[in-house]
């Protein structure tokens, strides 16, 4: 199907010969976006009489930008957001407080939780997400298929992470043993989902990545074996690193290494590896990230809510580190609005480095081009240019939230104001949000189903 998105103010990234160079953005008033099937055909101020769209979407008075990319999430955690027992806890206490409620999670609970988290992302303009699903209770029917089905039904592009926890309380870690798996079981199932679902084709809607949970729940051998398996299938690897000082103390005491040194000692570095958080990294470690082309997923709201600290994102970017943006799990963020996360990234870096250190352009780069680079998809996602995926987010600049601001600078308004719900979203050329409503599911029915699931799990 061919679309014409007409008369919008269109945001495009200007190409650079250096794939890690700072991004220059250009705002194009009264332009048209032409979509042919699942790709951008052109961004143009004039229309040829030869272009005959099947449908036209009027974007007059709207800001049209590349679909946003979320690089770190735990979709299942919408079952646990605002749980009173952990509202004021730091990471380790938060985890130990959440684990008991996760024992009863089953396939249907996982699927509805994932759908709610995905719906919230989509309604903020997100078109691609990754997900680290590390919860596989022993005896449960939980499988990664629940997340893949949820994404397919809503129409969002996903990197579904087969996560893992192998070290439990019996061996000095945090998770109850019944929430861990034996390493051979993890590797067998990881290879199963890679064989069945991992699609390496350009513009693929579903890819599978391998995502061991954290240094305190995975052995060095499993880190190593997971990386080897992922590389055999051309998949990416992702894990948590250097999120809190508790994690740093744990790694020093158990391994004699800082968290980043520990995972890198298992070979976890390179352009196919990304690390969530990296709050507590020093100058030498930032240099390591840059020289090994290892990417970082920045999750500001989660870091703030858990009191984990302020990661040195400004220094990472100056050093040439690829940085994407993540909302993190709903239980540590309590929301999934990716534009709100971009605003938090801007505010948090300014708290640490000063008012001129991090701009609205920097924030939108993290949420688009940065995420595409992290996912090794910089030539297909994160921009509106010919040949790129037809992943488009459209915001109405006439709402009260943008009043006054959009006249001066629509890009800054998008990040610095409190952005409302997106108006329209295309993913892979298909309209999945129209006039602020999901096109494939009933939003209120979805919310009601999750509420009932939460009552069942926490009765």
Q: Give the pLDDT confidence score for residue 22 in this predicted structure.
A: 82
- The CA-based dihedral angle spanning residues 247, 92, 95, 140, taken in that order and rounded to the nearest 10 degrees: 50
H/E segment holding residue 448:
helix 443-457
Q: Give the pLDDT confidence score for residue 68 in this predicted structure.
A: 98
Confidence of residue 184 (pLDDT cuts 50, 70, 90): very high
> Between helices 107-122 and 145-154, what is the axis angle to 10°?
40
Q: Give the pLDDT confidence score for residue 118 in this predicted structure.
A: 98
Q: Which two tokens stand for residue 375?
A: 């996912």
pTM of the shown model: 0.98
CA 118/CA 329 separation, integer angstroms: 11
pLDDT at 34 > cutoff 80:
yes
pLDDT at 98 > cutoff 80:
yes
pLDDT at 419 > cutoff 70:
yes
What burial letters (b/e) apply to 435-459, b meaning 16+ CB within 10 Å?
eeebeebeeeebeebbeebbeebee
> Residue 247: phi, psi to the nearest 5?
-65, -40
What burial letters (b/e) apply to 55-79, b meaning 16+ CB within 10 Å?
eebebeebbbbbbbbbbbbbbbbbb
Q: If you average pLDDT over every residue of the chain, what do you get?
A: 96
Q: Which residues pair with 296 in a beta bridge?
A: 275, 323
Q: Give the pLDDT confidence score for residue 453 in this predicted structure.
A: 97
CA 393/CA 124 separation, integer angstroms: 9
CA 405/CA 393 separation, integer angstroms: 19
Confidence of residue 49 (pLDDT cuts 50, 70, 90): confident
The mean pLDDT value for 160-179 works out to 94
What percentage of the chain carries pLDDT values higher than 90? 96
pLDDT at 266 > cutoff 70:
yes
The mean pLDDT value for 29-38 works out to 98
Confidence of residue 48 (pLDDT cuts 50, 70, 90): confident
At 116-168, the pLDDT tens digits run: 999 999 999 999 999 999 999 999 999 999 999 999 999 999 999 999 999 99
Q: What is the DSSP string of 173-201?
A: SSS-GGG---HHHHHHHHHHHHHHH---S
Burial category of 399 from C-beta neighbours within 10 Å (exposed 0-12, middle 13-18, buried 19 and up): middle
Comparing 13-22, 54-63, 151-160, 243-252, the range with the smallest average pLDDT is 13-22
Contact (Cβ atoms closer than 8 angstroms) between residue 343 and residue 332: no
Under the phi-then-psi rule, with left for phi > 0, alpha for psi from -120 to 50, and beta for the rest, what region is 389? beta
The mean pLDDT value for 221-227 works out to 97
Q: What is the DSSP string of 281-324?
A: --HHHHHHHHHHT-EEEE-HHHHHHTT-----HHHHHHHT--EE
pLDDT at 262 > cutoff 70:
yes
Q: Give the pLDDT confidence score for residue 20 in this predicted structure.
A: 66
CA 147/CA 18 separation, integer angstroms: 35
Confidence of residue 19 (pLDDT cuts 50, 70, 90): low
The stretches of 320-409 forming alpha helices (DSSP H) are: 330-333, 338-353, 360-365, 371-374, 405-408
Domains of the chain, start order: 2-66+382-438 (2.30.40.10), 68-374 (3.20.20.140)
Cβ partners under 8 Å of residue 94, min gap 6: 86, 306, 331, 332
At 351-372, the pLDDT tens digits run: 999 999 999 999 999 999 999 9
CA 211/CA 208 separation, integer angstroms: 10
pLDDT at 18 > cutoff 90:
no
Q: Which two tokens stand for residue 217?
A: 């729940």
Please state, as a whole number, how many other Cβ atoms lie within 10 Å of the Cβ of residue 189. Answer: 16
Question: pLDDT higher for 21 or 303?
Answer: 303
pLDDT at 420 > cutoff 90:
yes
């Amino acid at each position: 199907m061919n679309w014409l998105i007409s008369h919008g103010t269109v945001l495009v990234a200007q190409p650079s010969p250096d794939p890690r160079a700072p991004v220059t953005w250009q705002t194009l008033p009264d332009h048209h976006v032409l979509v042919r099937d699942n790709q951008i055909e052109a961004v143009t101020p004039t229309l040829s009489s030869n272009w005959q769209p099947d449908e036209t979407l009027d974007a007059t008075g709207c800001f049209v930008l590349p679909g946003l990319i979320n690089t770190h999430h735990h979709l299942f955690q919408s079952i646990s957001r605002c749980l009173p027992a952990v509202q004021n806890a730091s990471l380790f206490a938060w985890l130990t407080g959440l684990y008991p409620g996760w024992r009863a999670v089953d396939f249907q609970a996982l699927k509805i939780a994932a759908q709610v988290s995905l719906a919230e992302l989509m309604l903020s303009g997100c078109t691609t997400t990754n997900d680290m699903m590390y919860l596989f209770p022993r005896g449960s029917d939980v499988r990664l298929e629940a997340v893949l089905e949820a994404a397919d039904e809503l129409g969002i592009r996903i990197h579904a992470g087969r996560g893992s926890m192998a070290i439990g309380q019996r061996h000095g870690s945090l998770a109850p043993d019944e929430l861990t798996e034996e390493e051979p079981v993890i590797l067998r199932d990881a290879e199963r989902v890679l064989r069945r679902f991992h699609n390496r084709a350009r513009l693929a809607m579903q890819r599978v990545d391998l995502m061991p949970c954290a240094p305190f729940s995975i052995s060095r051998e499993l880190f190593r074996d997971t990386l080897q398996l992922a590389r055999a299938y051309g998949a990416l690897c992702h894990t948590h690193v250097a999120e809190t000082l508790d994690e740093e103390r744990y790694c020093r005491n158990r391994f004699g290494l800082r968290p980043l040194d520990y995972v890198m000692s298992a070979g976890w570095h390179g352009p196919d590896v990304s690390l969530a958080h990296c709050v507590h990294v020093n100058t030498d470690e930032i240099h390591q990230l840059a020289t090994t082309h290892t990417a970082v997923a920045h999750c500001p709201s989660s870091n703030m809510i858990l009191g984990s600290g302020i990661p040195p994102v400004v220094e990472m970017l100056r050093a040439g580190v690829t940085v994407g943006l993540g909302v993190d799990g709903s239980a540590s963020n309590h929301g999934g609005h990716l534009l709100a996360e971009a605003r938090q990234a801007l505010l948090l870096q300014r708290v640490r480095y000063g008012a001129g250190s991090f701009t609205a352009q920097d924030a939108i780069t993290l949420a688009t081009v940065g995420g595409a680079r992290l996912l090794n998809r910089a030539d297909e996602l994160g921009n509106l240019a010919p040949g790129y995926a037809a992943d488009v987010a459209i915001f109405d600049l006439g709402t009260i939230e943008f009043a006054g601001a959009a006249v001066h600078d629509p890009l800054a308004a998008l990040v610095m104001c409190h952005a409302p719900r997106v108006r329209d979203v295309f993913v892979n050329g298909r309209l999945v949000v129209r006039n602020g409503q999901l096109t494939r599911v009933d939003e209120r029915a979805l919310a009601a189903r999750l509420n009932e699931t939460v009552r069942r799990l926490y009765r």
